[in-house]
Amino acid sequence: MNADDQDLLDALLEGHHRALARTISKIENRAPGYRNLVSELYAHTGNADVIGITGSPGAGKSTLVDKLAETYRERGETVGIIAIDPSSPFTGGAVLGDRIRMASTIGDMDVFVRSMSARGTLGGLSTATADAVKAMDAFGKDKIIIETVGAGQNEVDIVRTADTVAVLVPPGSGDSVQTLKAGILEIADVFVVNKADRDGADRTVQELREMLHIGADVGFGGSGHHGADAMAGAGGTSTDDTDTDADTDADTDADSDEPDDWTPPIVETVATKGTGVDTFIDELAAHKSFLVDSGTHAEKVRQRYAEEIRTLLREDVNALLESELESAGGVDELAEAVRTGETDPYAIADDVLTPVADCLSEAEIEAVQAELNSQ
């Protein structure tokens, strides 16, 4: 790491917000030296709670995030917000729409808001998002909130970055059915029916409750924290007679020796008025406690790091293969050879990969020889 980057790192760790902003810019732009900088951040991470907020456009994500940050500050906790905005078709940068709806904490230096461009990345999350979370964590933020674009099925990518995922569903729009189709049922740790003062909120809560029953019947719960008895009413928002049975089941499970599976609660909020935000925060805290107590948190962190390793390897190998393609004449020339029938894509892939594989084999042999020589 060069001297300038070392000074930047030191300033970030000392709590200078300007250094945090510069670090995230360096990360997002993939500027020279950013990888060494991020590598140094890892030793200072692991203390922040990372919360993902996702859901369809118009669900009120930005307004709820604003109220969430405001309430955390009232509780004496510092907050970092990463708002994944749609990309500008002209510059590729963030449109910055989310900042407009986050007005309650303007001027509060302990709430750091950063808009980042989705840049067309699968799931609306740029590859820089995880690194930006590391920067905020190392800086010392207590809570880090990631708000996604709301791009649909690919939002499941947020699972790889957040500890707890809240899925917002607006009332009376039929979005709850789309949520199930998109597979978001599997990633939701907390469901939030925002704008709950509107007509159709009760119906939406009921639809989500029914979906969770269906999900349990067909074996949903790929992340391993949705139990077979998953019912929305466990969050304290249900009003029908089935609550009694649900509570009884919960008491029975609590008495057993087996750790309880997490039951995604449904919280009703009116973000514009701050209604239900405290309950929402309590449910987020309950899920974090569940993760720690059950040992699931450690497994999630392992999976996250495994995915980061895979992502870095894909990026590096892709760059290496692009170099090999150029040395072989470039993609256009190779594609033309396929078009004229001189070769085929499989043969080209083998030809490009062979020297890479040979280099890896030679490196492995040299490593074994070096180990033998040292004995």
pLDDT at position 263: 81
| Structure confidence by residue, pLDDT tens digits, 165-207 | 998 888 875 655 555 555 666 788 999 999 888 888 888 888 8
Domain boundaries, the chain: 46-303, 305-374
Alpha-helical (H) ranges within the chain are: 3-13, 17-28, 34-41, 61-74, 97-100, 129-139, 175-182, 201-218, 242-255, 277-294, 296-327, 331-339, 345-374
pLDDT score of 267 more than 50: yes
SS3 call for 280: helix
pTM value?
0.77
Sign of the dihedral defined by the CA atoms of residues 105, 109, 110, 116, in that order: positive
| Structure confidence by residue, pLDDT tens digits, 273-292 | 999 999 999 999 999 999 99
pLDDT at position 119: 55
| Architecture of the CATH domain 46-303 | 3-Layer(aba) Sandwich (3.40)
Higher pLDDT residue, 176 or 136?
136
Average pLDDT over residues 78-97: 64
Residue 257 has a CB neighbour count (10 Å cut-off) of 4
Name the nearest CA neighbour of 137 among 205, 50, 202, 68: 50
CA 315 from chain center: how many Å?
19
| Structure confidence by residue, pLDDT tens digits, 115-134 | 887 654 544 456 788 899 99
Q: What are phi and psi of 69, to 5 degrees?
A: -65, -40
pLDDT at position 215: 62
Under the banding of pLDDT at 50, 70 and 90, the label for residue 208 is confident
Under the banding of pLDDT at 50, 70 and 90, the label for residue 244 is very low
Residues 6+ apart with CB under 8 A from 84: 94, 115, 116, 117, 118, 124, 125, 126, 129, 146, 147, 148, 149
Higher pLDDT residue, 153 or 70?
70
pLDDT score of 338 more than 90: yes
Decide if 103 contacts 65 (C-beta within 8 A): no
Q: Which of the given ranges, 47-56, 225-234, 250-259, has the highest pLDDT on average?
A: 47-56
Q: Which of the given ranges, 123-127, 136-140, 217-221, has the highest pLDDT on average?
A: 136-140
pLDDT at position 181: 55
| Structure confidence by residue, pLDDT tens digits, 340-353 | 999 999 998 888 88
Decide if 186 contacts 226 (C-beta within 8 A): yes
Average pLDDT over residues 359-368: 76
